[in-house]
Every structure is written in structure tokens, then in C-alpha cells.
Amino acid sequence: MYHKVTNTILILLALFTADVFAQGYAPNFNQRDNEYRLLGLKRAKEAYDVARADYDRQKQLFDKSLITALDLEQVRRLYSDAEVNYQQSLLAVLFEEQYVSVSEAVKYHSADGLKHVRLTLVNASGGTAEFEKLLKIEDELFRTLQPDVIPNVYASIMNDEGAIISRPYEAKLTQLRYGEPQQIDFILLQDLDAVTIFLYYANGTTRTMKVFLEKDATVNKVAVQSEQFSQEVELGTSASFDLTLELFSGVSNTFSLEVVNLPSQIGRFFKDPQGQVRLSQVKFTQSNRTKRAALEISLPDRPSEDVAMDVPIPFYVLVLPREQATELGDLHSRQWTEAELTEMKVGYVRLELLPRGKGELQVRSPQLYHAIGADETAEMYVDLLNEGSHQLNNIEVKIDLPLGWTKTVSPAMVPSLGISEEARMALTFTPPEDIAVGKYQMRIRTSGLSNNEPVTADDKTVTVEIKAETNVFGTILIVLLVVSLVGGIVGYGIRLSRR
């Protein structure tokens, strides 16, 4: 009898508990839970704990055949709903608190000459331990949800215009675990010191941040680049090579500038492209780790054995720590190979100079004025002189003549004229038969080719005067008349003086 009463009481208590749970402990939704997710999580956690405890009690009653399977199923469904609601609230809080940060963005110069960026990403969520302590969350549930892991993290590097300047264009981390930073290596397609990093991760969260790239200080060198690495320069002129110097060093900040493998006949010096001040050393600061300089070179007026025309001259610009430059001494006493410079672990850039010459044509003539008769011919000559630094070819003279005049040029063309060589051309001008008395001008234009480029000399103007024809007998008669007249006047004066 006692056992029957006890079982009846337990049945009634179980039914009452289920009813109370269904009415009072079900996880009621609060509209403000979306705004205050942590408070909503607390509410869901309490409802979940109640539902789980009730389910455990109902399971014990069912095992003792005190409640039906239908009653247990109803409690299990409530428990399952509470668990799902709790997990959803937990995920909402965890995803809201997930945070990917960039701990390092280091720019370095690889052996192949490319610029790289080594990006270090960290899972900076940091709320896992706090949630576990605050809400007393079971380890098993946490392991199931993996709150310390951010899945599918994508990263890209962009410039200020929003264009991706990295290769790969987009890098992916399958997961980023809390406390385990991961590195991504990018090739920098555009050389910048400040870039924008774009991150996409978790459930669609995006972040952009503009960072100033650190320089890899593990090497003690300066990376050197020049956009104008190869130039053609005429003999007797100057040229400038632009240089960009980027410090990758945590040891030295003062570096010497040197040029090696350049013939001694070629003048050279470094200068500041802004202030035009000559440089022999550069000093970097913590805030300014990129500098610009220019190498000015001057070629001799004439070619030589070391400076031959149309023969490239490769040379190197070195940027090495001041202490190392002092130890090496005279760098210009020998020819350096690229392998030796690489072994020295100094910053260098290979440049190339191609000496080019250009002919300069001068025209000389001892006489540019001629007086001839109408039936005569004016003859003259001109001397052609190459005062430039390259051979002249196909030199010819063109003459602008007055109407009706004819000319001859011998030779018609000078095939070639070396440096400082001379050649003579004979010119003849013949007037037409019905030429009038007066002065006539001819313009002489001289041109040639130097290194397949046209070269011209200053124009010369020749003046030819046509004299009037004279009558010899008339001239003699006039002279006799004048002499007779003068003699008569003199005789008459003598007679008057005697009287």
C-alpha cells in the first residue's frame, strides 16, 4: 500500500514538473536579446540547465515505469529546443566577438629582386576563457562549437585606389585558432611603404586597415633600384641615373655610396635630386627608411680604348655600411663580378651605359663673293670638316640657285668623313645667256648622316655679281680727249702768265 501511494505521488510530481517547465521554464524570446546578446545568452543558458535537469529526472522516472514514453518525449523535445536555442545564442555571441588582427606586416627584399610582404594574422577574439568562466560552459560543448577557431579567413593587400597589389591576389586560411598566429607571404606588385589590408572571415565579417609596412631588419643592407638602368649617352655630354634606396637593417643607419667597374675617363658623382647637393653617404632615420639619390656621369669628348662607341659599359652602384666601406678600401682598383657582390651581402644595382657619338659638320669657304662677266663662270670650293665624335656618312651639298642659273658639284657626295677628317668639294655657277647686270645670291645647304640621324651644317650664302661689258676703243678715245683738254688748259695758262 505504501509503495502504491509513493508511486502515485511521484507520477503527479513528474506531471506537475513537466507542466511547470512547459509554462514557466521554456526559453521565452526577448526582443532585446538581439541587442544585448550576452544577456540573451545568460537567459538561454539558464533555460538549458533547467531543461537538462528536468530531462534527467524524467528519464529516471521513465526507467522506473512511472511515466509514459509520450511524457518523456515531450520533455526531451523541450530539452532539445532549449539546447538549440542556447547553442544559437552562444554562436551569436561568439561570432560577434570574433576578431582577426594583423600583428605584423613586414616588407622584405628576396634574392630574386622581388619585394615581399610577410603578413602575420592572429585570432584576437580573446573572449573564450571569459565566457567559459562567466557562464560555466562545459568543455564538451565548447569543443563541439570550436569557439576559439575562426574559419575561412581571406586576406588581400590593396593600394589607396582599392586595387589589389599582391600575388596571390587573395590568400586563404582554412582556420585561424586562438593563440596560434599564422603567416601569409605575398609578392608586392607595386612598391609601396603604406598599404591597405583587406580581411574577410567567419560569417561575412570584413575589415580594412591601412598599415605602414615594417622593414625586415634581419639583414644589414640597403635595397637599390633604378628605373633608368640603361641609357644611351652621347660623348661629351652628361646623363643622370635615378636611384631609390630602401633600408632593410636593424644594425646600421649610415651607408656609403660607391660606383665600381666604370672607366676612369668617365666622371661620376652622387647628388640629392631635390637640393642638387653632392652626396657620398646617406643616413636613414626611423621615420624615413626610403631615400632617393641620383648618379651623374660625364663622358669624354672623344672615344678611347675603354670608352668605345656603341659598346655597352656595365657597372654597379653599391650602397654598403660605412664600416664595411672603410674595411674594403679602394674599390676602384679592380673589376667586380656580380657573384662577388652577392657574396659580400651589400646592396647593389647593375646599370648600363652605351656611349654614342654624333658627327658635327662644319663648312668653310675662303671666298663667298665673286664678280664675273655675263659670259663667265664663278668657281669656288668648300671644305667639309667633321668636328663631332662620330663618323659622318653620305654628305651632300644642295644649292638654291636663281632662275636660269646652273651649277656643278664635284664630287656629288662624300661617302664618309671620320672624326676630325676634312674633304673638299668644288662648286661652279654658270649664269644664263641673257643675264642682266647685278648681284645674285646662291644658298648652300650641307647635310649628312651620323649614326643614322640627320646632321646639318650652317647654311652659306654666295654672292655673284655680273659686271657690265666695257668698250676698249671708246675708253681710249675718252682718255685722249681728256688728256688733250687738260693739256690745252695748261698751255693757255702758261701763255697768259708770260704776258
Rounded-to-integer distance, Cα 420 and Cα 385, Å: 7
Which pLDDT belongs to residue 134? 53
* 399 vs 497 pLDDT, higher one: 399
Which pLDDT belongs to residue 14? 41
Q: Are residues 346 and 227 in the same domain?
A: yes
Q: Are residues 352 and 373 in the same domain?
A: no
Does residue 411 have a cis peptide bond before it, meaning omega lies within 30 degrees of 0? yes
Q: Are residues 428 and 417 in the same domain?
A: yes
Q: What is the CATH number of the domain that holds 372?
A: 2.60.40.10
φ, ψ for residue 102, nearest 5 deg: -100, 115
Q: Are residues 351 and 226 in the same domain?
A: yes
Widest Cα–Cα separation across the chain: 210
pLDDT at residue 489 tops 50? yes
Closest CA to 331 of 351, 352, 345, 317: 317
* pLDDT tens figures, 299-311: 988 888 888 888 8
* Terminal Cα distance for the chain, rounded: 210
Residue 238 structural domain: 221-356
Cell 649628312, located at residue: 448
Which pLDDT belongs to residue 156? 95
* 30 vs 232 pLDDT, higher one: 232
> To the nearest whole number, what is the mean pLDDT of the chain?
81
Assigned domain for 140 exists: yes
pLDDT at residue 29 tops 60? no
Q: Minimum mean pLDDT among 10-19, 224-233, 323-332, 486-495: which range?
A: 10-19
Assigned domain for 495 exists: no
Which pLDDT belongs to residue 93? 63
From 199, 215, 231, the end of a domain falls on 215
Assigned domain for 471 exists: no
Cα–Cα distances in angstroms (integers) from residue 448 to residues 138, 363, 393, 408, 458, in the given order? 95, 12, 6, 19, 12
* pLDDT tens figures, 33-87: 555 565 676 777 788 888 888 888 888 888 888 888 888 888 888 888 888 887 7
Q: Are residues 269 and 251 in the same domain?
A: yes
Which pLDDT belongs to residue 325? 81
Q: What is the pTM of this model?
A: 0.57
Evaluate whether 400 touches 427 at the Cβ level (below 8 Å): no
CA gyration radius, the chain: 51
* pLDDT tens figures, 249-282: 767 788 999 999 999 899 999 998 887 789 888 8
Closest CA to 361 of 427, 455, 425, 426: 455
Mean pLDDT along residues 355-367? 88
Which pLDDT belongs to residue 196? 94
Q: Are residues 174 and 207 in the same domain?
A: yes
Domain count, the chain: 4
Q: Are residues 227 and 343 in the same domain?
A: yes
Assigned domain for 413 exists: yes
* 219 vs 350 pLDDT, higher one: 350
Q: What is the CATH number of the domain that holds 155?
A: 2.60.40.2550
Q: Are residues 379 and 454 in the same domain?
A: yes
Q: Are residues 244 and 260 in the same domain?
A: yes
C-beta pairs of 38-46 under 8 Å, 24+ apart in sequence: 38/93, 40/89, 40/92, 41/86, 41/89, 41/90, 41/92, 41/93, 41/135, 42/135, 43/89, 44/82, 44/85, 44/86, 44/88, 44/89, 44/90, 45/86, 45/89, 45/135, 45/137
Q: Are residues 202 and 246 in the same domain?
A: no
| Cα-Cα-Cα-Cα dihedral sign, residues 447, 448, 450, 452 | positive
Q: Are residues 124 and 200 in the same domain?
A: yes
Which pLDDT belongs to residue 431? 92
Closest CA to 440 of 381, 374, 383: 374
From 215, 248, 281, the end of a domain falls on 215
Q: Are residues 38 and 119 in the same domain?
A: no
Evaluate whether 275 touches 292 at the Cβ level (below 8 Å): no
* pLDDT tens figures, 118-173: 999 998 875 555 555 555 555 455 555 566 788 889 999 999 999 999 999 999 99
Which strands sit side by side in the sheet containing 100-109, from one edge to the other?
166-167, 182-188, 115-123, 100-109, 214-215
**Cβ-based burial of 189 (10 A; exposed 0-12, middle 13-18, buried ≥19):** middle
Angle at 128 between CA 92 and CA 202, to 5 degrees: 45
Which pLDDT belongs to residue 241? 93
From 356, 376, 401, the end of a domain falls on 356
* pLDDT tens figures, 446-486: 999 987 889 999 999 999 998 876 655 667 778 778 888 88
Identify the helix (H) or strand (E) that includes residue 145. helix 139-145
